[in-house]
Amino acid sequence: MPELRPAAMLRAMRMGERPVSGDLRAFALGIANGSVSLEQAAAFAMAVCMGPGLGEGGRVALTEAMRDGGAVLDWQLDGPVLDKHSTGGVGDCVSLILAPALAACGAYVPMISGRGLGHTGGTLDKLEAIPGLSVAGDVSRLRRVTGKVGCAIMGASERVAPADRILYSVRDVTGTVESLDLIVASILSKKLAAGLDALVLDVKCGTGAFNPDMEAAHALAEALVYTANGAGLRSVALVTAMDEPLAPAMGNAVEVMAAMEVLTEDTGCDLSEVTCELGGALLALGGLVPDAEDGADRIAGALADGRAAEVFGRMVAAQGGPGDFAHRWRDRLPGPKFVVEVGAPRAGVLASVDGRALGEAVAALGGGRQRPGDRVDPSVGLTGIARIGDRVEAGQPLAAIHAASEDDARAAAVAVLGAMRVADRAEASPPLVLGRVR
């Protein structure tokens, strides 16, 4: 390993120089083992944001080093090890559907997921709405459940990419979260450590996403794919629309319900369409089907015939949840104390939706976090959310609010009405898949 020279590297970065790969590797390994201080990590994050960046090669070097600073899983299984990552949006419960569908098609899916923060939801919070289910991240437990069931969805173990956990906490308090280089390294270091054979990246674009701008979303997709492939992980990215919630529900228990409706009732909604597109691309990349179109058909088949729902039920049981969840999920999930419908202010067409504002309304109800560590109420959220282009009459429900109190419901109603615009006509909605990066 190159000699660690953090101060010299930081001085060079301050002068506008890009760090060389060897210095980046030594620095990232130093963050993981504690020989680089938090102050130096903070200075590094700021230098990356303020300077010329790391460049494509530097991004690969940093990501690989962050992977190598902790445990790297090695699988000996009879199928490809696949996973998906989403950059975050609203009403996005694809992971709950895609993981078991991929497993039903012959893949293994050790999905390391995260929690919600701000206006976007977190997969782990959604799963924890299921009574008894544990998402505690442990390498041996992840191995055991994945090998037994075909998929597992858990949090990151402290042994996996420890430099990312430290660097992210520094970025959060120094205003450097938005750095493209650091976003890419953060996402991919954990995926590389999971020992995957292939990865599909769902880069969201729209008012409900962190990237409202198409150019920025495409740049992130390209950076993720280039870096993953440069580090030896086959990947493909889909840029998908996120101007409105992907599911007709937002919240934790209600999004589990939306996922279960796709798994058990073949609803044919936008949520299932995006799931099939992502799954099809990943099955093709993993070598299980000849092309993405055939893969999408395979995912649709696993949803339609109940195989994906059966796998999801076994995963829930293996992670401590009810053994009969796949059949009695409506009875097992927590319900709200108050349900209030929000009526359309006039007749017309739902012309636009501010996805971020809806996400913030759900967080204010208690369904999300304003800060790490905030308690989440799994029972609150929105259901029956109207879609852009839907024709409505005056007073017809645009959404139903699930709240813990009447005061919370009234405040959320004001926010929901402000986020959903009814007009005489709506502009044509964009396709769900806006672009692909291979």
Indicate the burial class of 372 (C-beta count within 10 angstroms; 0-12, 13-18, 19 or more).
exposed
Phi, then psi, of 398 in degrees rounded to 5: -90, -25
Indicate the burial class of 174 (C-beta count within 10 angstroms; 0-12, 13-18, 19 or more).
middle
SS3 347: coil
Which stretches of 117-252 are DSSP H helices? Answer: 123-127, 139-149, 162-174, 180-193, 214-230
Active-site residue (options: 186, 227, 275, 379):
186
C-alpha distance across the termini of the chain, in Å: 33
Asked about 119 being catalytic, the answer comes back as: no
Residue 154 CA to residue 143 CA, distance in Å, equals 11
Q: Which residue has the tokens 């729902």?
A: 309
Asked about 391 being catalytic, the answer comes back as: no
Helix axes 139-149 and 307-318, enclosed angle (nearest 10): 150
Asked about 148 being catalytic, the answer comes back as: no
Asked about 37 being catalytic, the answer comes back as: no
Asked about 86 being catalytic, the answer comes back as: yes
Asked about 126 being catalytic, the answer comes back as: no
Asked about 402 being catalytic, the answer comes back as: no
Sign of the four-CA dihedral 316, 152, 237, 242: positive
Residue 183 CA to residue 196 CA, distance in Å, equals 19
Active-site residue (options: 126, 191, 234, 356):
191
Asked about 204 being catalytic, the answer comes back as: no
Active-site residue (options: 86, 189, 227, 379):
86
Asked about 85 being catalytic, the answer comes back as: yes
SS3 208: coil
Active-site residue (options: 95, 113, 123, 207):
123
- List active site positions: 83-86, 123, 171, 186, 190-191
